[in-house]
Amino acid sequence: MKYMILLYGSQQDYDVLSGRATDRPDMSAEQIAAMHKHMETYHQALAESGELVDARGLSEPVHARRVQVREGAPVVTDGPYPETQEVLAGYTIVECASFDRATEIAAGLVDPDTPGGYVDVRPVVDGVEDLAG
């Protein structure tokens, strides 16, 4: 079964990573390198175990667009979205034996230094028949 692990962040997280001023302390070059190294090493281990399907980071929310349809016409709003504190920052898709194993993998992607940090794990459906619960 495939599972998608959804990684969350905020515009402020992207700002800290890029050295833009925020009310949070800047990350040192060493801290940023350590974070990237952890992700690279973790994903490499998943690739070697045969469980990694795909993993990607997403650009910062300022480069996003929200598309809605109102009265039959598309309405496009450029990011960032002030009403949203968190945004999808990336994802990892794994194929593994169980939801428990996917949850175990996901735990390794939660930053222990981020208070309240979390990821979501959701099964990937192969077709509409998988939606009938």
Which contiguous run of DSSP H or E holds residue 41? helix 29-49
Q: What is the mean pLDDT of the chain?
A: 87
Quick: pLDDT tens for 101-117: 999 999 999 988 777 78
Q: Give the pLDDT confidence score for residue 132 in this predicted structure.
A: 65
Residues 6+ positions from 8 with CB-CB distance below 8 Å: 86, 87, 88, 89, 118, 119, 120
Q: Give the pLDDT confidence score for residue 40 in this predicted structure.
A: 95
* pTM, to two decimals: 0.84
Task: Compute CA 92 distance to the chain's CA centroid, rounded to the nearest angstrom.
Answer: 7
Q: Give the pLDDT confidence score for residue 60 in this predicted structure.
A: 86
pLDDT at residue 83 greater than cutoff 90? no
Percent of the chain clearing pLDDT 70 (strictly above): 95
Mean pLDDT of 24-33: 81
Q: Give the pLDDT confidence score for residue 73 in this predicted structure.
A: 95
Q: How confident is the model at residue 24 (pLDDT cuts 50, 70, 90)?
A: confident
